[in-house]
């Protein structure tokens, strides 16, 4: 199971923690407020009062062992930037950072954030699903409860066509396209429009359409 670190337990951070807890995730929280740490204690595996702008505090809290860390500090732009830098210096594979403006987002990207989210556009529940998927997942919500996502195909589909795999009936989603690695690794993946007769290969990515519940189930199979 992925270990997910959360820095900052404001409105967005707390919503993310609760969404992750509902899915049984292994969550580590760090916040400067003892009150917020206590409030979140029932939802996380470990909650620590500390300052994420201090690299040693992050390391001592166990953040170096996280697969993903989400920096949820909002109003303190300097603090969020420093926390992001410290997370990258710890060698954390994926650092997601919350931005409150386009400028803030650009700076976070510049200092190493792998993904920047804007709470007005990226809701905590969507982010929770993406963090817990078997592989990094790109998710685009087109209506309440309905999304288009890019996922790794389940192992049982590899080597089968979409028709043979009975994807729509088996998983309740529709495959719109397949993104396939080019023969030359320097080239981007090619997109194959799904007709049902394409055989799914091991390193393919599927672009699928369906309810959030079905996408959630598929990404965790």
Res 168: pLDDT: 86
Q: What is the CATH number of the domain that holds 152?
A: 3.30.70.1450
Res 200: pLDDT: 94
Please check whether residues 115 and 177 belong to one and the same domain.
no
Using one digit for the tens of pLDDT, what is the confidence trace for 40-78?
A: 999 999 999 999 999 999 999 999 999 999 999 977 888
Please check whether residues 51 and 91 belong to one and the same domain.
yes
- CB 1 within 8 Å of CB 67: no
Q: How many structural domains does the chain have?
A: 2
Average per-residue pLDDT in the chain? 85
Please check whether residues 23 and 113 belong to one and the same domain.
yes
Please check whether residues 119 and 215 belong to one and the same domain.
no
Say whether 60 sits in a helix, a strand or coil.
Answer: helix
- Final residue of a domain: which of 132, 152, 177? 132
Triad 77, 53, 112: Cα angle to 5°: 65
Which residue range is the domain that position 204 belongs to? 138-220
pLDDT at 95 over 90: yes
pLDDT at 136 over 50: no
Query: What's the pLDDT band for 85 if we cut at 50, 70, 90?
Result: very high
Rounded CA-CA distance 130/189 in Å is 21
Q: Comparing 1-5, 25-29, 121-125, which segment has the lowest mean pLDDT?
A: 121-125
Q: What is the CATH number of the domain that holds 68?
A: 3.40.50.720
152 vs 75, higher pLDDT: 152
Please check whether residues 199 and 173 belong to one and the same domain.
yes
Nearest C-alpha neighbor of 114 from the set 130, 125, 129, 101: 130
- CB 58 within 8 Å of CB 91: no
Please check whether residues 126 and 23 belong to one and the same domain.
yes
Using one digit for the tens of pLDDT, what is the confidence trace for 204-214?
A: 988 888 887 88
- Final residue of a domain: which of 132, 162, 191? 132
Res 100: pLDDT: 87
- Final residue of a domain: which of 113, 132, 151? 132
């Amino acid at each position: 199971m992925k270990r997910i670190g959360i820095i900052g337990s404001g409105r967005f951070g707390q919503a993310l923690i609760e969404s992750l807890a509902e899915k049984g995730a292994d969550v580590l929280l760090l916040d400067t407020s003892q009150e917020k740490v206590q409030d979140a204690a029932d939802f996380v595996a470990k909650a620590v009062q500390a300052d994420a702008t201090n690299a040693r505090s992050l390391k001592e809290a166990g953040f170096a062992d996280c697969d993903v860390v989400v920096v949820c500090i909002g109003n303190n732009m300097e603090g969020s930037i420093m926390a992001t830098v410290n997370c990258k210096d710890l060698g954390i594979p994926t650092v997601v950072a919350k931005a409150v403006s386009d400028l803030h987002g650009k700076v976070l990207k510049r200092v190493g954030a792998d993904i920047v989210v804007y709470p007005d556009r990226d809701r905590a529940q969507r982010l929770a699903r993406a963090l817990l998927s078997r592989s990094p997942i790109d998710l685009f919500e087109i209506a309440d409860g309905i999304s288009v996502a890019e996922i790794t195909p389940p192992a049982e589909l590899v080597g089968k066509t979409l028709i043979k795999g009975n994807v729509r009936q088996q998983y309740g989603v529709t495959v719109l396209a397949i993104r396939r690695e080019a023969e030359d690794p320097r080239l981007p993946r090619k997109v194959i429009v799904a007709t049902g007769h394409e055989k799914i290969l091991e390193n393919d990515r599927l672009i699928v359409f369906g309810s959030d519940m079905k996408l959630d189930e598929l990404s965790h199979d």
